[in-house]
Amino acid sequence: MQIGELVSRVGPILGFLVCITVVAELSDKIGVFANIARGAARLARGSVIGLWLLVVAVAVLATAVLSLDTTAVLLTPVVLTLARQLDLSPAVFAYTAVWLANTASLFLPVSNLTNLLALSRLPNPGVPNFLALLWPAAVASVLVTVLALFLIFRRSLRGRYTLAEPEPAGHRGLLVLATVVCAALGPAFLLGVDVLVASAIAAVILVMACVVVRRDLLAWRLLPWPLVLGVSVLFLLVQLAHDHGLGTLLGVAAGHGEGWVALTRMTGLGALGANVLDNLPSYLALEPAAGSPLRLAALLVGVNAGPLVTPWASLATLLWAARCRSAGVPVSWGRFALRGLVVAPLVLLASVTALWLAH
C-alpha cells in the first residue's frame, strides 16, 4: 500500500479524533457533563446500584447508536464527574464506560468502524441483516460484561448517596448551546452524516462560541497531538507489517469452517490480533479469511469485544484513558490488563457460543 492510500484511510479517523476531543474538552469545561451527571443522580433517587444500572443503560445505548469512540469520549467525563460529585469510587464507573464501549459495539453498523467495513461484505448489506446476524453475540457480550462488572465492583455498588446542592452554573447560554451540540451528534451520525464532518462542525461551533463569551477556555492543549502522533505511528507500523506478510500469516492461522471450534478460533485470533496490534488492522488482515457471514460475525466478536487487555487494542480505550487523565483519575494499565485477561475470554466464549447456537 502506498503512503498516500494509507493517509487517505487513516486521515479521517485522526481528524475525527481531534475534533471530538475538542468537543469533549470544551463541553466538560463549560459544564455540560456536570449538568448531565446531576440529572442522572436525581433520577436514581440516592441508590448507588440504581445509578450504576442507569449508567450501564446509557453506555450500551450510546455505544450502539453513536459508536464506541464517541461513548469513550462523551460518557467517560459524565461518569467521572458523577463519582466526584457523589463521593463514590470512580473505578466502577470508569470501567463500565470503557468495557461497554468495546463489548456493546456489536449491535449496529455505526457502533464500530469494523462493523461498517464488514457491512459491505455481507450478501445483503443493511442494518436489519446486520442486526439479525450479530444480535445474539451482542446481547451475550453485554450481559457477561455487566455481570463481571457487578462481581468485581459489588462492594462499591452498595449503599446510598446524598445529592449535594448544585454548584453555581457558568454562562447559561453557552451551557445550553454546548448541550444541544452534544445531543445533536447522535442524530447526525444516525442520519448518515460523515463522522468527521459532524464532529468538525460541532467543534467549530463551540470554539466560535467560546471566542465570543469564554475565550479563557481556549488553549492549544485542547488538541490531542501526542495521541494523534502515537496512533499515526501505530497505523504505519501495522501497515508495514501487513505489507510484509502479516496478512498471509493470519489468514493461514484463521483456518476454515463454521463449527463452534472454527468460529471460536476465528474470534480468538481476532481478539489476539486486536490486543497485539489494534482492532482495525487486525480486522483488515483477517477479513479475507472470513469467507462467510457467520465467520465474519465471529471475527467482529473478536476485534470488537476482545480489546480489553492492552491500551492500544482499540482507539476507544486510548480515548477513555485520555479522558481519565484529564479528570485526574489515574489508570493502572497493569490492573487493567489483569482484569481484561479474566473478563475478555468469558465475554468472547459467551458471545461466539450465542452466535453459533443462533445460526
| 250, pLDDT greater than 60 | yes
Query: Pick from 20, 92, 36, 8: which is nearest to 315 by CA?
Result: 20
**Phi/psi at 80 (nearest 5 deg)?**
-70, -35
Strand partners, 160: 47
Q: How far apart are CA 29 and CA 23, in angstroms?
A: 10
Better-scored residue on pLDDT, 112 or 310: 310
- Distance spanning both ends of the chain, measured CA to CA: 36
Cβ atoms of 111 and 145 within 8 Å: the answer is no
pLDDT category at 153 given cuts 50, 70, 90 is very high
pLDDT for the residue 247 = 64
Per-residue model confidence (pLDDT) at position 103: 96
Q: Measuring CA to CA, how many Å separate 296 from each of 39, 115, 275, 289, 322?
A: 40, 10, 18, 9, 31
| Percent of the chain topping pLDDT 90 | 35
Judged by DSSP in three states, 102 sits in helix
Report for 88-92, 105-109, 171-175, 350-354: range of highest mean pLDDT: 350-354
Alpha carbons 134 and 301: distance in angstroms, whole number: 9
**Cβ neighbours, 10 Å, residue 338:** 12
Q: How far is CA 66 from CA 59, 171, 197, 203, in A?
A: 10, 28, 14, 17
The answer, yes or no, to whether residue 30 has pLDDT greater than 70, is yes
pTM, two decimal places: 0.81
CA distances from 36 to 182, 250, 320 (A): 11, 44, 18
133: Cβ–Cβ under 8 A, 6 or more apart, which residues? 122, 293, 294, 297, 359
**CA of 69: how far to CAs of 114, 171, 346, in Å?**
12, 28, 23
Q: What pLDDT band is residue 165 in, cutting at 50, 70 and 90?
A: low
**Alpha helices (runs of H) in 104-246, residue ranges in sequence order:** 113-119, 127-152, 172-190, 195-213, 225-241
Q: How confident is the model over 313-356, as pLDDT tens digits? A: 998 898 899 889 888 888 999 999 999 999 999 999 999 999 99
CA angle 306–252–104, rounded 5-degree value: 15
Which of 58-62, 103-107, 322-326 has maximum average pLDDT? 103-107
What local confidence, expressed as pLDDT, does residue 113 receive?
A: 80
pLDDT of residue 28: 78
Stretch 265-294: mean pLDDT: 87
According to DSSP, residue 111 is labeled G
Mean per-residue pLDDT over the chain, rounded? 85
**Angle 260-276/279-290 helices, nearest 10 degrees?**
150
Asked if residues 255 and 328 have their Cβ atoms less than 8 Å apart, the reply is: no
The alpha carbon of 114 is separated from its chain's Cα centroid by a whole number of angstroms, namely 12
